[in-house]
């Protein structure tokens, strides 16, 4: 934790920029507090979450972020080894050969990320699903989220995760810690 705090303080010094990024998360918390998330499924929240949280807060460029061609967030990436599709991949895309650094699995708001999902997934938890999807990929990281809790796993170790609760990211200091884990400059 101390190392993350040091990294966050070093990389993210501009308090005004951090306050601007926090505005994005405050909208997410407001939607949650009003009960809107209780009514929405993963697919209803996913694109806004990707565009706002990962693009605005964590600074990943999406397909249409700028005109230079290179972007960092590729939705619905199909892994050739496992044949499975994740919700999105993080890396370097649009410049020829894609480089995948992380695969991301999103689940409906409030989903327990460790509990078996049932239905078409059977006794597989969202964490297990994410690791199965990324099997055989070159990704170093696996990210699993229920739109509040975001877990960052090393691709070789599903037993340990760094955890961020977006609803707890309300100050410059907590923003720095979250960014030290998941910001484009840190993770990629």
Q: Is the CA virtual torsion 85, 125, 107, 12 positive or negative?
A: negative
Sheet holding 149-154, edge to edge: 71-75, 88-93, 99-106, 141-145, 149-154, 162-165
pTM over 0.85: yes
Q: Per-residue confidence of the chain (188 residues) as pLDDT tens digits?
A: 777 777 777 777 888 888 888 988 888 888 888 878 777 777 777 778 888 899 889 999 988 776 667 889 988 877 777 777 888 899 998 877 788 999 999 998 889 999 998 777 779 999 999 998 888 788 999 999 998 999 999 999 999 999 999 999 999 899 999 999 999 989 98
Helix ranges (H only) for 12-140 are: 15-33, 42-49, 126-134
């Amino acid at each position: 934790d101390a190392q993350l705090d040091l990294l966050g303080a070093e990389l993210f010094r501009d308090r005004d920029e951090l306050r601007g990024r926090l505005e994005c998360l405050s909208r997410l918390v407001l939607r949650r507090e009003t009960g809107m998330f209780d009514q929405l499924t993963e697919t209803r929240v996913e694109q806004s979450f990707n565009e706002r949280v990962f693009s605005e807060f964590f600074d990943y460029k999406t397909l249409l972020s700028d005109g230079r061609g290179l972007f960092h967030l590729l939705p619905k990436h199909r892994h050739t080894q496992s044949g499975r599709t994740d919700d999105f991949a993080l890396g370097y895309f649009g410049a020829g050969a894609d480089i995948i650094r992380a695969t991301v699995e999103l689940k409906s708001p409030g989903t327990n990320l460790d509990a078996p999902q049932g239905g078409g997934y059977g006794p597989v938890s969202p964490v297990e699903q994410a690791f199965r999807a990324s099997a055989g990929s070159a990704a170093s990281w696996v990210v699993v989220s229920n739109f509040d809790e975001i877990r960052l796993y090393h691709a070789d170790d599903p037993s340990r995760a760094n955890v961020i609760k977006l609803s707890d990211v309300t100050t410059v200091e907590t923003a720095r810690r979250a960014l030290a884990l998941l910001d484009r400059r840190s993770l990629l």
